Amino acid sequence: MAYTGVMPSARSRAMVREARHLLFTVAPGAVWIVIFLVLPGAYLMGVAFMTNGPYGLPEMPLSLESFKRLAGFGFLGWSPGNLYTLLRSLWQTAVSTGLVVLVAYPIAYYITTCREKWRPIMLLLVVVPSWTNQVIRTFGWMNLLAPGTPLSGLAEGLGLIAPNMGLYPSSFAVTLGLVYNFLPFMVLPLYAAFEKLDTAQVEAAQDLFASPVRAFWHAVFPQTLPGLLAGIVLVAIPAFGMYVIPELLGGGKGMMLGNLVATQFSGGANWPLGAAGAILMLIATFIGLFAMRRIGKRLGGGEEVVI
Amino acid sequence: MNETITADAIASSHPRTAEAAAEGEASRQASAIEMQGLHKRFGRATVALDGVDLTIEAGEFFTLLGPSGCGKTTLLRILAGLEEADDGRLAIGGRDITEVPPHRRSVNTVFQSYALFPHLSVRDNLAFGLKMRGMAAAARHAKVDEIADFIKLGDLVDRRVDQLSGGQRQRIALARALVCEPDVLLLDEPLSALDAGLRSQLQVELLRVQKRLGMTFVFVTHDQDEAMVMSDRIAVLNGGVIQQVGPPREVYEHPANAFVARFMGHDNLYPVTGRQGSRLATALGELTTAEAGEGELLLIRPETLDLLPGEVAGDNHLPAVVVERLYRGSHAEYRLEVGDTTLQATLNNRGRHLPEVGDRVTITVAPDDLITLSE
């Protein structure tokens, strides 16, 4: 009966080896996530359910006060201000993401048609602006769009804006800033999708009686869908929570949810309300991601879109 | 074992074939192709086609053969409409289609990479052309089932393309084009991605399908063996110019020039250094030919040679030494030295004596088998 003694010990040794392997590969990341994501997230969650203190800091007892205020019920009865901010954030995100798609799609396609040695350079040109600090780039747009600049003058001349208004500050400036900022995040996944595409498939579609437009729609577009969906996620989520661009380019008018949250944490305004706003954003984002997965599965013919 | 079905089974199971037989083959009219003065260049320097005049008969299995860059694929793409000729005319079935875009041509292509759509099921791939032509869903479904049975892959129609083997993909690509019932089917090296065994099996299948359907097939390949096995006629291209057009035997046994000879695998080419009537002087010695050609190169096909043991005197008898022997079972390939000149010979293995390396032999060849060529 030597069998019973030998086998388990060999197996347990293998288990120890595997545990050690896990410890060294997964543990650092897990620790990082616990310290910087799980704990702060839990803290934020707790803060959201606490009462606002005299200096804007959270206090006991637990209450739903912040969520009520977030929904618009203040000391003076219900006001739609926060609801507008939420809707504006969603609208701004949708419009910006849509525009990013329209701009990025042809760029990504064009890069794949370039000679192979030029492609890394073209991609670099797309990415290089994002190596500069976002705040600096946004200030750049302020200078370009402010009243009295050539661009504002042109818009005035065309009768698009009232005299001396300038293109900035406005929600147009916010949209422009968002599109500019997030373009690389759409171009890169789309480029990856285009690059995988065998050009013979486009020819095959035309050979099988598809006009150029239908060849695009039936043979090309569906295959870029995974890249498109990945790009939409990469753009829409950060855009939805964007703080800097609406703050700098929007003036008082373009406030988004991110600004509402930031205001509650800075200047000692109302931490519990800010935390509740952050949680609202998180929920909205998860709903969006879930919807994207569903869309991706349906359009992608069952192929899982990794998000 | 979907890989091992026979083309007989494929072809006989096709309903249209039975129908066509009943109507005396009248239901299908294959289309002839006429090309006149086709020119194509890419950029400034690259001439892909330099004046191609060619007529492909209706119902013919026609092969465009040549090395890479010879223009064969460009010619096929012009037939498909995927490339536009700089100059020249193209007509299929008597109708000029030089400027007709690919989606309006009754021509379908089997691509070298198959170009199946990875985002669609096998069924949707097969139905693609029918859908684009506006066929109703129910009719499409029936057609696809029919063609899938025809290629014996009926049980695969609901799979995804990436779940198929190479041979299955090849068949789906063929079926996707065949289901559209084109006037002409174009095949761009369709078997080049397959391993040797599957390849020769599919060669036979393809050939039998073509014969049963009576469709005009234009086949592109760089493999002369494949071209000879499959074709009714072969056009050999080089540098965008047609070198020779003819049935396989003619191209192999009477190549029009040295390029065709070399491309068909002939290595025994010897400059003619002098001639007196039908007697030619070459590095091998003096030889007598039946035809008094004008060419400056003598072609000796390895399989026309015979080897006699020892030294035997006579006309068209050359003394030689065996330098190398590759035994291939059904035959043996020899490298021989006649003086300083080497010569290839192939001997059938019919239970006769096969000389060994180092043996002294006498090469004999019939005057009928010697022809002369120009460069």
SS3 annotation, B334-360:
EEEEECCEEEEEEEECCCCCCCCCCCE
Going from N- to C-terminal start, the domains of chain B cover 2-258, 269-373
**CATH number among 3.20.20.70, 3.40.50.1100, 3.40.50.300, 2.40.50.100, domain B269-373:** 2.40.50.100
Partner-chain residue, chosen from A198, A223, A300, that has the shortest CB–CB distance to B113: A198
Min Cα distance B133 → chain A (Å) is 6
Q: How far is B337 from chain A (nearest CA, A)?
A: 49
Chain A: give the shortest CA distance to residue B119, in Å. Answer: 6
Q: Chain A residues within 8 A (CB-CB) of chain B?
A: 198, 200-201, 203-211, 214-215, 218-219, 222-223, 225, 300-301, 303
Residue with tokens 């691509």: B111
A173/chain B closest Cα distance in angstroms: 39
My answer on whether omega of the bond before A169 falls inside 30° of 0, hence cis, is yes
Lowest mean pLDDT among A2-6, A135-139, B7-11, B352-356: B7-11
Return the CATH fold of A83-254: MetI-like fold (1.10.3720)
The chain A residue lying nearest B188, using CA atoms, is: A200
Residue A80 vs residues A76, A85, A269, A270: alpha-carbon distances, Å: 12, 9, 19, 19
- pLDDT of B152 higher than 90: no
More confident residue, B22 or B186: B186
Residues in chain A: 307
CA-angle at A189, arms to A188 and A193, nearest 5°: 115
Do the beta carbons of residue B190 and residue B174 sit within 8 Å? yes
Interface contact A203-B117, CB threshold 8 A = no
List of E strands, chain A: 51-52, 58-59, 73-74, 77-78
Phi-psi region of B280 (alpha: psi -120 to 50; beta: other; left: phi over 0): beta
CA distance A275 to chain B (A): 43
Question: Edge-to-edge strand order for the sheet containing B241-246?
Answer: B107-110, B184-188, B216-221, B61-65, B233-238, B241-246
Closest partner CB to B115 (pick from A201, A225, A301): A201
Contact check, Cβ <8 Å, A207/B118:
no
**Are A229 and A307 within 8 A, CB to CB?**
yes
Helix axes B166-178, B137-150, angle to 10 degrees: 130
CA distance A297 to A293: 6
Residues of B in contact with A203 (CB under 8 A): 80, 82, 102, 109, 111, 115
Tell me if the bond preceding A61 is cis, omega within 30° of 0.
Answer: yes
Question: For strand A58-59 and strand A51-52, is the pairing parallel, antiparallel, or unpaired?
Answer: antiparallel
Residue identified by tokens 């599965």 is: A297
Q: For chain A, how far is it from start to end, CA to CA, in angstroms?
A: 53
For tokens 């909205």, the residue is: A284
Q: Give me the mean pLDDT over the B96-123 stretch.
A: 92
Average pLDDT, chain B: 87
- B352 has pLDDT over 50: yes
The CATH code that applies to domain B2-258 is 3.40.50.300
The closest of B369, B367, B371 to B288, measured between CA atoms, is B367
> Which residues in chain A touch residue B125, judged by CB atoms under 8 angstroms apart?
none
Looking at the partner chain, which of A208, A211, A222 has a beta carbon nearest the beta carbon of B129? A208
Q: Is the Cβ pair A300, B108 closer than 8 Å? A: no
From first CA to last CA, the distance across chain B in angstroms is 49
The answer to whether residues B270 and B284 touch, using CB atoms and an 8 Å cutoff, is yes
8 Å CB contact of B111 and A203 = yes
Q: Give the separation between CA A198 and CA A211, rounded to whole angstroms.
A: 18
Closest CA to B306 of B340, B348, B341: B348
Closest residue of chain A to B104, computed from CA coordinates: A209
Write down the pTM of the prediction: 0.77
Please say if the pLDDT value at position B54 is more than 50. Answer: yes
One DSSP character per residue, A268-280 reads G--HHHHHHHHHH
- CA A228 – CA A307 distance, rounded (Å): 11
Domain boundaries of chain A, sorted by first residue: 83-254
Q: Which residues of chain A have pLDDT under 70?
A: 1-8, 252-254, 268, 299-307
